[in-house]
Each structure stands twice: as C-alpha cells, then as structure tokens.
Amino acid sequence: MSFGSDPSIGFVSTFPPTVCGIASYTESLVAAISDRSPGNLTGVVSLVDGPTEGSASPVLMHHRTGNRASLRDATELLNSFGTVSIQHEFGIWGERDGVEVLDFISRLSVPTAVTLHTILEEPTRNQRSITEGLCRLTERIVVMSQTASTRLADRYGVDPDRVSVIPHGADSRLAGPSLAKGDRPLILTWGLIGPGKGLEWAIRALTEIADVRPLPRYLIAGATHPRVRQDSGEAYRTSLVALTQSLGLSSMVEFDDRYLDRRSLARLVRSADVVVLPYESAEQVTSGVLVEAIAASKPVVATQFPHAVELLSGGAGAVVPFGDPQLLGAKLRQILSDRPTRDYMTSRTRRLAADWYWPTIGDRFAGVMAEIVASPAASVPSSLRRHNVA
C-alpha cells in the first residue's frame, strides 16, 4: 500500500490506551506523519500482553506478545505496507528480554527500520544478542540522541552510516509563552512514577532551599506506572509521602496522581519555573520528559544520565551526580535566586528545541523511511537479505 511519493508505513509499538512513554511517542509520531501528508497511509499494530477487545484507527490489529498465531497474522498484515517501523524496548516484546522481536522482523518482507529506545552500556549476553540482531536484520536504525548513536558504534560495532539520529518530538503547545506567574516558584517533575525515578533525592534536596522566600513548591505530577502498580501498588508513592512528612516538607511538596492529557500537561509544564529530573539510571539515552521540558523553555536540573549530559552541557540546565541532594539543592537555589542564570538557561533551551516539534520530526522520520525504500539494497527482497544475515 502506498500513496503519493512517500511509502506507506506500518508501525509496531505499544499504543494508547496503553499508558507508557513509547505508546505516547508512537501516537504523536503517527499523527505528525499523517498530518504532514493526509494521503500517505499509516497503520499501527499495537503490542499487548493480554486479550484486548476492538481497536480504533490508526490501530489495525493488536499483537498479543508471545502468541505465535498473532505474530503470523501481524507480519502478514505489515507485509502489505511499503515499509515498517519497529519500536523496541526490552520490556514490550514477548519471551525472555523480548527476543520475540527477532522472529517478528525475520518474517517481514518489506524494508524495515527499528527505533531503539534503550541501548544498554552493560547488557546481559541475551540483551546484547537481541540488540545486535535488531541492527543486523533491519535496513535502518533510528535513535534519539547522538549519545545513543555513539554507543551503538562503540559498544556494538554498528556502522554509523546505518544510524539516523532523530530527536524525540515535542508537542507544539509547549512552545507558548511562560505561564509561571504564581506567588511561589514552581519546581516540577512529571511522568509515570516508580522506583528508579529518584524522586526521594529531589525531596531531600528541598531541605537545602527551605529558607528561600517566597517558599518554592515542588509538584510531582503523574500516575504510578501500571506495571509498578500491578506489582507493588502505591508503595513507592506512599514512601515519598512518608519521607516528605519526616523531613518536615509538607508545605513544599505536592502530589498529583492524574495521567494528564496533552493539553493539560502542556499548560502545567509551561507553568513551572524549573524542572528537576533526578533519575537514577546511568543507561538512559532517551528522555521524552527532558525534551518536553526544554521545548517549553524551562531550565532543567538533572542527574547525569546520558541524554541529560548531552542536552544540558550547552547551558540549558545543570547536571549533578547521582544521589547528591546537597548539590541538587544548590543548583535549584541558584536558578531560583539568580535571574540572569535563569534567563540564560531559558535562552539556551529555546535555541536547542527549535527543530524538535512534532511536525518537523514527522517530516524527518518519513524522509528516512522513504530513503530505505529508495535505496539500491531495497531491490533485493528484504526476506532474502534477512535469511542471508540471520
């Protein structure tokens, strides 16, 4: 299936109503490509881990991960498209570490790109094998940061010419004027909540700025991650509330457990004075929340996860060591108390995010998909190429 000069694209990913960052990313990307060229056909095979009733456009079918009959039906459907975009993270596919994805791609007969949302510096043997297989079996690898591209070359031996760096997109509603007009400055963290987000470190950092006047507010906005809630309920959020109370910070810390729609989220982010991302993982080469914060022209204080180091080193924010609430608090104090510092960071974020909004990202992604179809290698059936390299 193809319309106009661009190939039709079949996407494989988690997708709303599934609540996760990759689902939101794919929904926005598909919408951007469809808006760019209404005649260009896109469709989605959504990844689910249980029975699902019905589907709504652009979802054409649900692939129940780990189910062989479902895998066969999904790949047959996708082979009717001009090209396929696979979204990958180890936890969204079936079998051990999501190894099912390799069999899935091997059954595709059309040019295929994989978007890697996770590239581990220290993978297990099985995780390395999966990542290497994904890079070997697809015509193009898409990543969202230069750090990710460099890691693929250095740690996995991937030819940089096969890698396209396309930033994570941002909602254009984030680009409006600042709405930070409250009596008290607002420090904001948002996204799905769970262990590893490092929110306890951000709360501890508030003890370093409890004397700032007017007294800052720290809002933790977001629902508990569905898998965390399934495994341990609201234990993590409850522990954060208990920590807040034990440190005497109840007048500073607020919790909003709603999963906000995009319009409401954009207004909230634009209302912040500074964004704090205290994540604990040194593996994170992509952060949609970080991109959205910069797109909203907000100074960011983040721990030294790879994507933050890459994006903030030019002055759009500050990077601090993992597990250092004193330095985190000191950086928050500087941004809140020193207007020239805050204005400089804001100006750097505006320059950095100029080309990150979804219409531009949709154009770039569609261009990459068109390139792999038009390349000389595409004249050789993809199924034959994959058989030869498997």
Token pair recorded at residue 365: 């992604």
**Phi and psi dihedrals of 327, rounded to 5?**
-70, -35
**pLDDT tens sequence for the chain (390 residues):** 444 468 999 999 999 999 999 999 999 999 999 988 766 689 999 999 988 877 788 999 999 999 999 999 999 999 999 999 999 999 999 999 999 999 999 999 999 999 999 999 999 999 999 999 999 999 999 999 999 999 999 999 999 999 999 999 999 999 989 999 888 999 999 999 999 999 999 999 999 999 999 999 999 999 999 889 999 999 999 999 999 999 999 999 999 999 888 999 999 999 999 999 999 999 999 999 999 999 999 999 999 999 999 999 999 999 999 999 999 999 999 999 999 999 999 999 999 999 999 999 999 999 999 999 998 665 555 555 565 555
Q: The tokens 């129940």 sit on which residue?
A: 64
What pLDDT digit, counting tens, does each position of 55-89 carry? 788 999 999 999 999 999 999 999 999 999 999 99
- Fold of the domain built from segment(s) 172-352: Rossmann fold (3.40.50)
Token pair recorded at residue 278: 């205290």
Q: Is the pTM of this model over 0.95?
A: no
Among the listed residues 99, 169, 109, the one whose alpha carbon sits nearest the alpha carbon of residue 139: 109
Q: Are 174 and 356 in contact (CB under 8 A)?
A: no
Question: So where are the chain's domains?
Answer: 2-169+357-389, 172-352
Q: Which positions ≥6 away from 127 have C-beta within 8 Å?
A: 90, 97, 120
What's the CA gap between 137 and 111, in Å, rounded? 10
Beta carbons within 10 angstroms of residue 194's beta carbon: 19
**Phi and psi dihedrals of 12, rounded to 5?**
-125, 120
C-alpha 341, offset from chain centre? 28
CATH architecture assigned to 2-169+357-389: 3-Layer(aba) Sandwich (3.40)
Q: Are 144 and 167 in contact (CB under 8 A)?
A: yes
CA-CA-CA-CA dihedral for 204, 210, 215, 220, to nearest 10: 0
Among the listed residues 293, 268, 258, 262, the one whose alpha carbon sits nearest the alpha carbon of residue 278: 293
